[in-house]
């Protein structure tokens, strides 16, 4: 099933994917699998790079049915996803129409933001109904 608009809110602990064409948007939650690595001189937990790549791949797969994708989030995970897409998920590259910094909105706030964003983008591109 192809959808016109999808958005992903992503940080390093989860990704929320919203397909926003329908009256009632659907949402999907993806969490990374973490391989914990403890550095001998530190006690901080660190993610394993292969886990991050697997996480970004899962997110990209969840977005492949969309024709246009907006990537949002509070920190660097959104940019790391974009880098992953450019390196490994070439079919998704032309679908990404924007990357925006968005802190931690509720699902309703995020859906409203995404709808406004896509309405404005559609008007600018001349594809608004």
Q: What CATH number did the domain enclosing 114 receive?
A: 3.30.420.60
| pLDDT of 50 | 72
On the question of pLDDT at 42 being above 60, the answer is: no
Whole-number Å distance between alpha carbons of 27 and 59: 12
Contact 98, 70 (CB under 8 A): yes
The owner of tokens 């901080």 is: 44
Write down the pTM of the prediction. Answer: 0.80
Whole-number Å distance between alpha carbons of 57 and 81: 9
Q: Pairing mode, if any, of strands 45-46 and 37-38? A: antiparallel
pLDDT tens-digit readout, 77-94: 999 999 999 999 999 999
| pLDDT of 46 | 45
| 3-state DSSP assignment of residue 93 | helix
- Here the tokens at position 27 are 């949402």
How many independent structural domains does the chain possess? 1
**Domain boundaries, position 74:** 3-125
Name which of 5, 4, 10 is nearest 81 in CA terms.
10
Better-predicted residue by pLDDT, 22 or 79: 79
């Amino acid at each position: 099933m192809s959808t016109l608009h999808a958005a992903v809110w992503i940080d390093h602990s989860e990704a929320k994917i919203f397909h926003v064409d329908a009256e009632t948007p659907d949402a999907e939650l993806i969490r990374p699998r973490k391989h914990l690595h403890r550095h001998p001189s530190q006690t901080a937990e660190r993610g394993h790079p292969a886990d991050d790549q697997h996480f970004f791949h899962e997110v990209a797969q969840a977005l492949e049915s969309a024709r246009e994708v907006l990537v949002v989030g509070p920190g660097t995970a959104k940019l790391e996803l974009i880098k992953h897409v450019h390196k490994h998920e070439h079919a998704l590259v032309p679908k990404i129409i924007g990357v925006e910094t968005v802190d931690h909105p509720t699902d309703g706030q995020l859906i409203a933001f995404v709808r406004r964003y896509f309405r404005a983008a559609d008007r600018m591109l001349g594809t608004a109904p």
